[in-house]
Amino acid sequence: MAIMTFIRIAVAGLLTIIGSVGAILVLLVRSAAGFHVITRSWARIVLKVFGVSVSVEGSDHIVPNSAYIYVANHASMFDIPAVLAGIPDDIHIMLKKELTRVPIWGWALAMSPYIVIDRFKGRSASESLQEAAEAIRSGKSVLIFAEGTRTHSGSLLPFKRGAFSVAARSGIPIIPIAINNTFSILQKGSLNITAAPITIRIGSPIDSSGGTTREDENRLLEETRKQIETMYIEQHE
């Protein structure tokens, strides 16, 4: 690892600790708005530390003060800061419970308005999906990575049904998102970071109202994947 990369990782780690402490403090006074300001600021500063820029295409598909289910591909640890910095919305991320066990950062996540899922307990996962649906109906936008994990190859992985179950339960529109170029910045299992511009492409909203059956969920999955496939540029090692 190059010395400059090591320094940047150390700086990003320090910024994450500082941001997490700040988030915990604002959450103690129940300021969700303050939490979103901190997370967005953290994302933009961390991206600058690594020399990464973010451009967004299709933001006109987002109507201000509306709730959406953002469904995105997942290729890199840079996906989350890119979305937080680039999407003009206060997004509530659906995340794995394991992440909340990380000291300081995980504590902030556990206290946050984000939605935590225990993937190893079926009943808990189902309850989390219902919680997500209720949060969206109350006016909160949610981000779900449809593949459930980061790709190892740069190609899209199969989509899991969770995001589309949430959509069918809530009746709130899905907005497909393709996050491009993060795979070339940082691949899963690597610490080799290469600065590159990220492009987020926002697709057309998909109506999720009208049905809650497995067939309805499969239809939403197929429509969402088709849009993301069109917008996503595959990258390989």
Among candidate residues 185, 172, 229, 149, the one with its CA nearest the CA of residue 46: 185
* DSSP for 92-143, written as a single string: EEEEEGGGGGSTTHHHHHHHSSSEEE-TT-HHHHHHHHHHHHHHHHTT-EEE
Query: Which tens digits make up the pLDDT trace of 182-234?
Result: 999 988 888 889 899 999 999 999 999 877 788 889 999 999 999 999 999 97
Domain extent at residue 115: 52-231
Counting Cα atoms < 13 Å in the Cβ hemisphere of 233 gives 9
* Number of domains the chain contains: 1
Are 57 and 196 spatial neighbours (Cβ–Cβ below 8 Å)? no
Average pLDDT for residues 82-94, to the nearest whole number? 93
Instruction: Output the pLDDT for position 198.
Output: 97
Q: Mean pLDDT across the stretch 102-109?
A: 93
Helix (H/G/I), strand (E/B), else coil: 190 = coil
Q: Is residue 42, in this structure, part of any structural domain at all?
A: no
> How, if at all, do strands 198-202 and 174-180 pair?
antiparallel
State what percent of residues in the chain have pLDDT above 70.
Answer: 95
Q: Report if residue 97 sits inside a domain.
A: yes
Residue 165 lies in a domain: yes
- Is residue 168 domain-resident? yes
Read off the pTM.
0.90
pLDDT of residue 1 exceeding 90:
no
Return the pLDDT at 226.
97
Which pLDDT score, from 0 to 100, does residue 28 have? 94
Q: Is there a domain that residue 134 lies in?
A: yes
Count of positions (residues) in the chain = 237
Q: Is residue 155 part of a domain?
A: yes
Q: Tell me the CATH number at 201.
A: 3.40.1130.10
The reported pLDDT for the residue numbered 121 is: 59
Instruction: Check residue 36 and give its pLDDT.
Output: 94
Determine, yes or no, domain membership for 44: no
Position 209 in a domain: yes
Report the alpha-carbon distance of residue 193 to residue 187 in Å, rounded.
Answer: 8
